[in-house]
Amino acid sequence: MDARALAALAANPGCRRRALLDGAGVDKGALAQALGAPANFGQSQFAHQRGNSFEARVKADGGADLVRLLHERLRDGSEPPGPGAVATPDLTASGPQGRTARTALALREATEAGRWALLDHPMVSLDVAGSPAFLEPDAVVVHPDGTWTVIEIKSFPMVDGSADPAKVGAAARQSAVYTLALERVASMIGEPEEGGDAAEAAEAANRADRAPVRVRVRHQVLLVCPKDFSNLPTAELVDVRKQLAVTRRQLDRLTRIEEIAAALPEGTTFDLRLTDDGRLPTRPVEELTAAVDAVDAAYAPECLSTCELAAHCRTRSRAAGQVEALGRGVRGELGGFTTVDAVLTAAMNGPADEAPTGDPAVDALRRAAALRAEALASRPELASRPEAAACR
Amino acid sequence: MSLITTLARMEAVREGRAQPLTTVRHRHLSERPLAFVPLTTAGETGAPLGALVGTDRDAPRLLIVAQPRDRDLRFAFLAELAEEIQPYLDSYGDEVELEERKETDPETGKKVPVQVELCQDAPQLLVPSTAGVAFVRLLGRSMRFRRTAEQDPETPFPAPARVPLLGRWLTHYGERARVPGSCLLLSLTESLSRHWATGQSNLEDQHLGSLLAWIDPPEGVPGAEAALRAESERDEDGRLRCPPAGPATDPAFDNKLLAPAMSRYDAARTEASQGVAGGSARLRLAEAELRGLIESQLRPTWDALWRGVDLLRTLPEGARVADRWKRDRWSYTGHRDRVRAGEPPQPKLDDAVTAAQKLAARETAQAQLDAHEALDDPLVMAGRRLAGEAFAGEVIDVEMAWSDAKVPRPRPLVTIRTEDRPHLAERVKLHRVTADGRAQSGEFAGHADLDGADEADGSDEADEADVAEGQGDAEGQGDADGPAGADGPGRALVVRLTGGMGRGKQPEPGTVPEKGDRVCWTLFEHAPRGGPELPDAESTPWTHGGPPDTAAPAQSPQPDPMTEEDYL
């Protein structure tokens, strides 16, 4: 699971289906394909190439450029990093666990060294609904004062100092996940031991436990984008405190995966039973559908851009007539109604005397239906012909 | 989304086709709009890949950039685009009418009427989606600071002649599109979803094909199914039958078809430049292949755009649309004048005063649009009535009364029976349009008892309050939404007319509603005005950056720096 998926999961913490499938590492894209509801997802190779070449350009010359950009944006009046002032520790190790451990070690060493350091593609882990997820930020910079900044490199342009707010928002949510994971690392490393006294160290660790938000991981991330229409990098600090709080709360809210799994019928599996060449699923669609339906989803139209399974969930949600299929905000005014049929019945089949029912949602719906019908009946030129004709 | 819209969406779900949200068309549609369907290269925002453009739906002009990373090809594309769009934009510039406008005379400081030109009509650009509007803006930004060889012989990569000019026009159109209700640059998804409610969410309505599938599904196919097909059906090559309306492309198309074709093109180009035998023939072939591919992605959207235009044209135009279009004509004329006067391109960033002015103008335009739409359209008014911002009903009683001023003015009290629940407090200002289209103002004077004894609490109190006019709110009248009638299905409201009755002691005939008339009063103004005037740029307060720095070098915006491998 990458940070983008995690941010999406955190945006819809009530979706048990997604939590389970992501937690179990199921390939949702393949599953959706097998269910006959493939998502129009995927990244264009042009975008991919452009992203990679831009990132390589930004990180060229040992990150000096990147750290210079960061220093400029900080505007804290400190000395600019001189040539060769940026350390770039080697982070290669085998396996995600190994890389995570290596990253933690490198972070600790760089923090103690009290100088600028750039960690290129470090790996950090985060506990998601009871199972670890490994995340790979574009870069993390360690400042001489021992604080850390997450660097997010994106290939959408910043034109005249402003970028597409939707994309910046997505980048901020993604960076917040990295920041959260880094905070865990920070609390594990604990305070640099000064006195060497065991009791003091324990106390320090205790302090770190109680206040993991001690300013070690900065809550401003550096967003690096191409400037205007060139491929020169420019950067802005983005405050992610809000996204951080949201993500932290949502991740805490996630039902633990074991609990979801425990509620499943015995023997539920999402195995596609691929053919020997690994291409075609042989498992009957009905069986798969039943397996997927065994765990609840919380579909909302926002899922369509973030979850591979969304097309399937949408079909199910529409078939059940759930009002959320029309948008998350729709529920707000509908009181206790959850299905389209119930709403329409309540709105249209009111008694003739229009006596208030005591349920404000029902009264408002009837009023809305009556007003709408009245206005539609007043269309002289359209009332005479059927709707179908009016559209053609 | 308001409750009445939600309800319309649910009806659409039940009926399997979109339901009307309006009874008239609230957007101006030109007789001869110019449609522009752009595509851009994924990951390189602002590097166009191709476009269909033109005013003739049957003969669009196809423009492509075979290799978007090649600056010369991009410039060639932009030059062709300018060749297509600029004459269209200019063609409206010379047919003018004269309008009288008050201007401050620089010598006397008095307001004097002057005759100014106003173009009789303005060119209208149509794009498929809101992303297309953003792309027009971006294109404008990328083009307007380019330098042609004429402007600056030193410039390293001179742009073709019309490119900077078109950039300024596209910027103007992109900027104008941010004004609510403006129609110089329209997106079809936005316009269609204003007029129809589909059985899907707002997010899904952004897909033009799927939106059209709901509004006008094929015979016998429910909208939901037709929309699903539009979203995901692919042909034997794996191409979407209804590709995204751009400017972004379908990633599967990029990876499976476009990328291989582009590498073939690159290879043929290298061969041709090295003089390999048959290289130039292969280059032409490769380019033709790319043209075909890009057109296959553009043409369905082009057709969908015009189908959307047809659907919009089935609706009669709202009565106040022409008023708003006149503002668009002013906007067009103003930009024409700025270009003709040789003013420099729009700055990269607005100064504080301009930004505040734009914001205020957009707020006013929004309020005006909301009012206009409601007045033009009973269905939109129904939404405002449901929200408690208007009420309609039958006049059940009219009582003449006069004000206590030295010269008594007519202040008739009109009692209206309504089932609406407006959010009224005592002396709230009310507005309505009379049968002959004039504005009339009134104020809420109280509730009336429906059982005969009219104006149980309204008239007396209100008359006293009239004396106290101008001394602030009359106290003690409290919550006008009294318990009486609050629960009943129908109730009666008393409105005191305060204007729109002529100058005499007796109201002019036809200005006071009569018993049995149906009237509709709104709590919102019909012609909202902007806020107070903003200071001149020279007296920008220090809180907003202070006056512009006159010592700074002359305001000639620098072109964007070119890098070796820049994209656009």
pLDDT tens digit sequence for A163-183: 888 889 889 989 999 999 998
Written as one letter, the residue type at A180 is L
- Predicted pLDDT at B502: 84
Question: Which residues from chain A sit within 8 angstroms of residue B348, using beta carbons?
Answer: 160
What is d(CA A63, CA B547) in angstroms, rounded to the nearest whole number? Answer: 40
Nearest CA in chain A to B67: A46
Residues B458 and B309 in one domain: no
**Rounded to the nearest 5°, which phi and psi values hold at B113?**
-75, 135
Question: Which residues from chain B sit within 8 angstroms of residue A374, using beta carbons?
Answer: 378, 382
Burial string for B253-289 (b: 16+ CB within 10 Å, else e) reads bbbebbeebbebbbebbebbeeeeeebeebbeebbeb
Question: Which residues from chain B sit within 8 angstroms of residue A43, using beta carbons?
Answer: 42, 251
Which has the higher per-residue pLDDT, B565 or B336? B336
Confidence of residue B12 (pLDDT cuts 50, 70, 90): very high
Residue from B1, B4, B10 whose CB has the most chain A CBs within 10 Å, to mutate = B10
* Contact residues for A123 (Cβ-Cβ < 8 A; gap 6+): A91, A96, A99, A100, A102, A103, A134, A135, A136
Residues B311 and B432 in one domain: no
Residue from A227, A230, A384 whose CB has the most chain B CBs within 10 Å, to mutate = A230
Q: Above 70 in pLDDT, residue B52?
A: yes
Per-residue pLDDT tens over the stretch B392-424: 999 998 998 888 888 888 899 999 998 888 888
Q: Is A344 in Cβ contact with B14 (below 8 Å)?
A: yes
Q: Above 90 in pLDDT, residue B370?
A: yes
pLDDT, averaged across chain A? 80
A329 close contact with B: CB closer than 8 A? yes
Per-residue pLDDT tens over the stretch B271-282: 888 888 888 888
* Contact residues for B95 (Cβ-Cβ < 8 A; gap 6+): B119, B120, B121
**Rounded to the nearest 5°, which phi and psi values hold at B493?**
-120, 145
- Predicted pLDDT at B224: 87
Of B316, B342, B362, which closes a domain? B316
pLDDT > 90: what percent of chain B?
A: 45
What is d(CA A41, CA B53) in angstroms, rounded to the nearest whole number? Answer: 28
- Predicted pLDDT at A260: 79
Total structural domains in chain B? 2
Q: Residue range B498-526: average pLDDT?
A: 87
Domain encompassing residue B395:
388-522
Taking the model in full, what pTM does it have?
0.86
CA–CA min distance A46, chain B (Å): 6
- Predicted pLDDT at A195: 42
Confidence of residue B42 (pLDDT cuts 50, 70, 90): confident
Q: Which of residues 285-304 of A touch B (CB under 8 A)?
A: 301-302, 304
- Residue A330 is classified by DSSP as G
Q: Above 60 in pLDDT, residue B468?
A: no
**B125-127 vs B34-40, strand pairing mode:** parallel
**A148-153 vs A139-142, strand pairing mode:** antiparallel
CA–CA min distance A272, chain B (Å): 22
Query: Is residue B379 domain-resident?
Result: no
Q: Which of residues 129-168 of A touch B (CB under 8 A)?
A: 155-157, 159-161, 164
- The residue with tokens 């660790």 is A205
- Predicted pLDDT at B456: 42
What is d(CA B266, CA B65) in angstroms, rounded to the nearest whole number? Answer: 12
Torsion of CA A150, A151, A152, A153, to 10 degrees: -170
CA–CA min distance B515, chain A (Å): 21
Of A161, A356, A371, the CB nearest to B385: A371
A232 close contact with B: CB closer than 8 A? yes
* Contact residues for B46 (Cβ-Cβ < 8 A; gap 6+): A157, A229, B40, B138, B139, B142, B567, B568
Residue from A326, A354, A382, A392 whose CB has the most chain B CBs within 10 Å, to mutate = A326
A101 close contact with B: CB closer than 8 A? no
- Predicted pLDDT at B295: 92
- Predicted pLDDT at A350: 65
- Sorted by where each begins, the domain ranges of chain A are 43-253, 302-391
A383 close contact with B: CB closer than 8 A? no
Q: Residue range B50-59: average pLDDT?
A: 93
Nearest CA in chain A to B143: A229
Query: Is residue B183 within 8 Å of residue B324, measured between CB atoms?
Result: yes
Query: Is residue B409 within 8 Å of residue B221, measured between CB atoms?
Result: no
CA–CA min distance A89, chain B (Å): 30
Which has the higher per-residue pLDDT, B129 or A2? B129
CA–CA min distance A173, chain B (Å): 20
Please report, in angstroms and rounded to a whole number, the separation of the first and last CA atoms in chain B. Answer: 39
Burial class (CB in 10 A: 0-12, 13-18, 19+), A165: exposed
CA–CA min distance A103, chain B (Å): 30
Q: Is B200 in Cβ contact with A301 (below 8 Å)?
A: yes
Residues B392 and B312 in one domain: no
Regarding an ipTM greater than 0.85, the answer is: no
CA–CA min distance A195, chain B (Å): 50
Query: Is residue B265 domain-resident?
Result: yes
- The 10 Å Cβ neighbour count of residue B437 is 8
Nearest to B55 by CA among B122, B119, B140, B126: B126
CA–CA min distance A391, chain B (Å): 6
Burial string for B198-230 (b: 16+ CB within 10 Å, else e) reads bbbbeebbbbbbbbbbbbbbeeeebbbebbbbb
| A149: three-class secondary structure by DSSP | strand
Per-residue pLDDT tens over the stretch B533-549: 888 878 888 888 777 76
Query: Is residue B10 domain-resident?
Result: yes
Query: In Å, how far from its chain's centre is CA B91?
Result: 23
- Predicted pLDDT at A278: 63
Nearest CA in chain B to A305: B203
Range with the poorest average pLDDT among A179-193, A256-270, B248-262, B465-479: B465-479
Q: Is B202 in Cβ contact with A327 (below 8 Å)?
A: yes
Q: Is B382 in Cβ contact with A228 (below 8 Å)?
A: no
Residues B404 and B273 in one domain: no
Of A305, A321, A390, the CB nearest to B314: A390
Q: Is A46 in Cβ contact with B44 (below 8 Å)?
A: yes
- Predicted pLDDT at A191: 54
pLDDT, averaged across chain B? 84
Confidence of residue A6 (pLDDT cuts 50, 70, 90): confident
Confidence of residue A97 (pLDDT cuts 50, 70, 90): confident
Per-residue pLDDT tens over the stretch B292-312: 999 999 999 999 999 999 999
- Predicted pLDDT at A276: 67
Q: Above 70 in pLDDT, residue A201?
A: no
Q: Is B419 in Cβ contact with A354 (below 8 Å)?
A: yes
- Predicted pLDDT at B20: 93
Question: Which residues from chain B sit within 8 angstroms of residue A389, using beta carbons?
Answer: none
Query: Is residue B538 domain-resident?
Result: no
- Predicted pLDDT at A380: 59
Residue from A33, A53, A154, A228 whose CB has the most chain B CBs within 10 Å, to mutate = A228
Residues B285 and B171 in one domain: yes
Burial class (CB in 10 A: 0-12, 13-18, 19+), B357: middle
Confidence of residue A277 (pLDDT cuts 50, 70, 90): low
Per-residue pLDDT tens over the stretch B131-183: 999 999 999 988 888 888 777 777 777 788 788 999 999 999 999 999 999 99
Q: Above 60 in pLDDT, residue A202?
A: no
Range with the poorest average pLDDT among A36-40, A157-161, B510-514: A36-40
- Predicted pLDDT at B472: 38
